[in-house]
Amino acid sequence: MKAIVIGAGIGGLGAAIRLAKEGYAVTVFEANNHVGGKMNNLQLGEWRFDMGPSVFTGPEYIRELFELCGEDFSIFQYKKLDESFTYFFPDGQHFSLPANEKDLIATFERELGEDPKVVRKYLKKSGENYKAIAPLFIETSLHRWKGLLNKKLLKALSRLPKYKLNSTMNEENTHTFSNPKTIQIFNRYATYNGSDPFKTPAMLNMIQHLEMNEGVYLPNKGMVNIAHTLKELAERQGVTFRFQEKVEKIHLDKNVVVGVQTEIGRYDAEVVLSNMDVAFTYEKLMPEADRPMKILNQEKSSSAMVFYWGIRKQFSELGVHNMIFSSDYTKEFKALFDDFTLQDDPSIYINITSKEIPSDAPIDGENWFVMINVTINKGQDWDAYRSTARKKVIEVINKTLNTSIEAYIEEEFVMDPVFIENTYSGKFGSIYGNSSNNTYAAFYRHPNFSKKIKGLYFAGVTVHPGGGIPLALNSAKIAIECLRQDKS
């Protein structure tokens, strides 16, 4: 039997591998000339950049695919970083958070005056919540009772009071910690799925578990090597890739998938799995099919503007992952989700892989991935936005590092919501599809299968369980489990 995967993002790659192991002849169609989706590679002169995801957690989800295929995971080389993030605050204070639990808790006490017992209890709870919730909300379909009715459900339900379903992330963090800077650090994790900590349910405070409790990693050849490694694994299972061949339509016979139409021709298949933004899957590939409008009309996640700068200088005060915080986090998220404007004082994330991968930059330079969260594309003047944002970002960096960074920028490329929408087919330039800005957000993500069209499945960050590499890989796992159930 034949299976077609639309899109070679991380979810699509995971799905292709799993489909091949189910015995399907798998073909992956990718509109671009590379695998990985937003996990792309950019070369500017002497500088190499990872264009998309930059924080690598949960390597066990990649290991799982190698074990499924009976292959040696050690061929994928990566390292655990000694520090997760270096934080900079408007008053000049800055410090790094160590990966070691003892040193991490000591840093919160020394730098922010937090009670170590409170920090330890908070981190422990987030880990326990994640481990209880993961089998139910992250590794299982929420849309099929067969997968939910088990002992894991009872274990997850027994922890309901600890999830604080009626509180926001900010409310729980404000109640827990004494220093506003600590609250800001933990509120930041809402941005990992493009959401607002002042609206997102407190249960999602468990997002930071993988980073703070388990650690942050970096592939030896950069984040893009995750995609390359999975492509090679897929090819060894017999998967075929067709690049720069855009799927234009999903063919249906009544309510049954029968194949796809590309720019080149028609391809028949019994199974089609879309790794494309779920909204665009319906709008562009199945315009006549019934759409789950309640799900598709949910508030979208934020987008991003990224400046890729080849810097001819090295900065010892910066690490691999750095965050320069805004002085008014509430105002920043109001601009993102309520006003759809560019915030006056944006928080700035700087990723520098050349700190650990020297070949990513010349010996006297660094490769800066400089990102701010921005609102989705609503037809704003993005040329003006880019110009204004660049000035603001440079102003903040200069003040923070006591430098004149513009003098050291030798290469530059800019990514904005329009680029994301056009290149990666993210509706409105949204990175993660729907946001998580309400209590029941987890139930408003599209399921990993179609309830009305036989043979149609979904994977990727815009469907259940959500954004990030671990969740994208789990979306593929869930989709294929749903396919297995449908065949039985």
Q: How many residues does the chain have?
A: 488
Distance CA 311, CA 362 (A): 9
pLDDT tens string 155-188: 555 555 555 667 899 999 999 999 999 999 999 9
Task: Please state, as a whole number, how many other Cβ atoms lie within 10 Å of the Cβ of residue 332.
Answer: 21
pLDDT at 231: 98
**Which stretches in the chain have pLDDT values below 70?**
145-165, 442-443
pLDDT at 422: 94
Distance CA 458, CA 242 (A): 19
Distance CA 125, CA 404 (A): 43
pLDDT at 156: 58
For the chain, domains (ranges, CATH) are: 2-38+59-77+221-298+434-487 (3.50.50.60), 109-213 (no CATH)
pLDDT at 105: 97
Distance CA 393, CA 308 (A): 12
